[in-house]
Structure 1
Amino acid sequence: MTIPLPVFRLLLALGVGLIMTGLPSPSRAQNIVLMVNGEPITDFDIDQRSKLDQLTTQKVPTREQVINELIDDKVKMKEGKKYGVDPGVSDINQSYEGMAQRMRITPEQLTKSLESKGVRPETLKARMKSEMVWTSLVRGRYKEKLMVGERDVAQAVQAQTGEKLQIEGTEYKMQPIVLIVPRGSSPAFLETRKKEAETYRSRVASCEEANSLFRSTPNATIRDTVTKTTAELPEPLRKVLDDTPIGRLTAPEMTKNGIEMVVLCSRKPTMIDTPKKREVREKMYQEKYERTQKAYLDELRKAAMIEYRNR
């Protein structure tokens, strides 16, 4: 998963209404410090990334840390070109605008705030592009390796909470139907409507037929499709739905709205999800992602041609 720049920290660091201080001219700091796969990293690049890092982490990075970050970016970008992963200008600008929006400022205000701290917007955009490329590469090349099994998640949840989770469940898609019975109707009228409901049950054999029939039937209504899983339904209703053939109507029940039935559109196996499972799954995925991307980056770093000119 993408690990975005800490936007809230950037916002706090930049502040609002800061006075422009001016930027150093790139031409004054183009001394090449090292070459990575034939591409230069200059003193100006190091200075810019150092300022950006200080904004986003509220810590002053060492020169060596910044150089290593820039080396990583170079090897990531080269690997991206190898596999045709190369976000365009519009993609980067959209990401930049999205960051400004999350900070509740305009892109122009973000640019001015960065510049007031001596950071060129291109420095942030270059960092964004590198992370976009890298995320696409890691997810694309190691998709299967990054998958988190549901049984592994359930076991992890049980280890943490002692709660044994049901892994497999059923997903039901259905549409509620109501035959309207006005308040104060006579018992005879109610009985007539019940007989109508049974007649409809014998006629309907699919959700399509139910929609066609009840959308044109007076004093009847069919609602939008509802999808529920095993975990969301009480046991009695689950048993009714399990015993109902696909496309058929459940037995009519009298409610305050009238005589209600449900047409069962589909019933299929699914994995039961809970907030705790989602939390554990996310953590397990992140851990896998971190291990995988680190090993991938270490491999690229070892194969890279890195030539120091001037520390």
Structure 2
Amino acid sequence: MGQLTARYSRPIEGGWIDARRILTMAKTVWGRAAGAMIIGMVLSLAAALPAMAQNVRVTVNGTPITDLQIAARVKLFAIEGNKTGSRGATEQLITEALQVEEAKRLGVTVSNAQIDEALLQIARNMNVSQDKLVALLQQGGVSTETLQDRLRAAIAWNAVTERAIMPQVQISELALDQQAAGQVQAFQTFDYILKEIIFVGAGSSGRSGQANNYRSKFAGCDSAVDLSLGYTDAAVIDVGRRHATQMPEAIAKELAGLNVGGITKPRVVESGVSMLAVCEKTQAEDLTFLKSDLRAEQGNQALQGEVSTYLADLRARAKIIYN
């Protein structure tokens, strides 16, 4: 199960990067953690930490990390299924101390409202109230503050990523053009104007029969609406212009084999049974959508590398003292 910090560190936007989509990341990770939290929670962790003096175990550029912080993070790890124990918790807290310190250096602040919103989003994703989320954490011996600390560090680090690291990531457009051109296939070299004919409703077998009957009588886009009037709950939708690279491979291959006036075989969709009619078809190689996918893939890989290097440099320059 992924950890919250790791998820926050690799956001995605408009193709590849968005450090602003933090709450979605929290939602994703805690959606996965919910089952383990509710079903597999170890009852022995329910006991609160005994009262004890806070002994400093590590200092990071003067910032102390105590045994109580480490023990609390280990309990959060137990809920997540992370088995790295005290050592893993200590290293994560060191990393977070470096991230928060760097965020402060760059003038980044994280408000309590941002933390509250993140907690609320986690609760919504789990389909529980925020009070119930707090109660579930407490059942695992985890205070709300422990999760808040992690969220605060993750939100701050995303801001650092956006301000200081993302500008260093460069993607070659020429390389993307060359790679996309090498990937395009013959069935992906067409541009279409399409209409969708939908037979709305449940009972896909019955609806498929009517759709096939419609298809056997189809005589082109101009008469698509008039023909649909002879069927119950049949709708004709103007899809407009679409390039083959925008569509699933199976549909793009079927459309490539059709001429203008052709119509695809019925497919069961969420709303009923669907077919696509070809109103116009032209030869057109458009690499835009292939390049978008490639940019997302390469951008994320490049960003991850830059983030790792940046963090490693912070750690190399830090004064970390283990007690």
Instruction: Tell me, yes or no, whether TM beats 0.5.
Output: yes
Q: Show the counterpart of 1:76.
A: 99
Displacement of 1:143 in angstroms is 2.6
Distance between the aligned counterparts of 1:289 and 1:165, measured in 2? 33
Q: CA RMSD in A?
A: 3.7
Matched, 1:28 2:52: yes
Residue identity opposite 1:117 in structure 2: G
Distance between the aligned counterparts of 1:271 and 1:84, measured in 2? 40
CA contact (8 A) 1:46 1:66 kept: yes
Q: Show the counterpart of 2:147.
A: 124
CA contact (8 A) 2:137 2:143 kept: yes
Distance between the aligned counterparts of 1:61 and 1:104, measured in 2? 29
Displacement of 1:285 in angstroms is 2.2
Matched ranges for 1:162-241 at <5 A: 163=185
Displacement of 1:162 in angstroms is 6.0
Q: Which moved more, 1:300-309 or 1:150-159?
A: 150-159
CA 1:34–1:144 in structure 2 vs 1: closer, same or farther (change >3 Å)?
closer
Q: Show the counterpart of 2:205.
A: none
Q: Show the counterpart of 2:83.
A: 60
CA contact (8 A) 1:33 1:308 kept: yes
Distance between the aligned counterparts of 1:31 and 1:165, measured in 2? 66
Residue identity opposite 2:312 in structure 1: D
1:140 alignment partner, SS class: helix
Distance between the aligned counterparts of 1:278 and 1:165, measured in 2? 19
Distance between the aligned counterparts of 2:137 and 2:180, measured in 1? 43
Structure with larger Rg: 1
Q: Show the counterpart of 2:126.
A: 103
Distance between the aligned counterparts of 2:178 and 2:78, measured in 1? 40
Which residues of structure 1 form unaligned runs of 5+?
Answer: 171-225, 235-269
TM-score normalised by length of structure 1: 0.59
CA contact (8 A) 1:36 1:305 kept: yes
CA contact (8 A) 1:229 1:272 kept: no
Selected match of 1:50 from 62, 74, 81: 74
Identity of aligned residues (%): 23
Matched, 1:290 2:313: no
CA contact (8 A) 1:54 1:61 kept: no
Distance between the aligned counterparts of 2:110 and 2:186, measured in 1? 44
Distance between the aligned counterparts of 1:74 and 1:44, measured in 2? 15
Matched, 1:301 2:315: yes
CA contact (8 A) 2:31 2:126 kept: yes
TM-score normalised by length of structure 2: 0.57
CA contact (8 A) 1:157 1:163 kept: no
CA 1:228–1:114 in structure 2 vs 1: closer, same or farther (change >3 Å)?
same
Matched, 1:272 2:288: yes
CA 1:101–1:33 in structure 2 vs 1: closer, same or farther (change >3 Å)?
same
Residue deviations 1:191-241 (CA, integer Å, cap 9, x gap): xxxxxxxxxxxxxxxxxxxxxxxxxxxxxxxxxxx9967667x9xxxxxxx
Displacement of 1:64 in angstroms is 2.1
Residue deviations 1:98-145 (CA, integer Å, cap 9, x gap): 111111111111111011001111111111111111111112112333
2:169 alignment partner, SS class: coil
CA 1:297–1:34 in structure 2 vs 1: closer, same or farther (change >3 Å)?
same
Distance between the aligned counterparts of 2:135 and 2:46, measured in 1? 10
Residue deviations 1:146-194 (CA, integer Å, cap 9, x gap): 35445444544566x5648999xx9xxxxxxxxxxxxxxxxxxxxxxxx
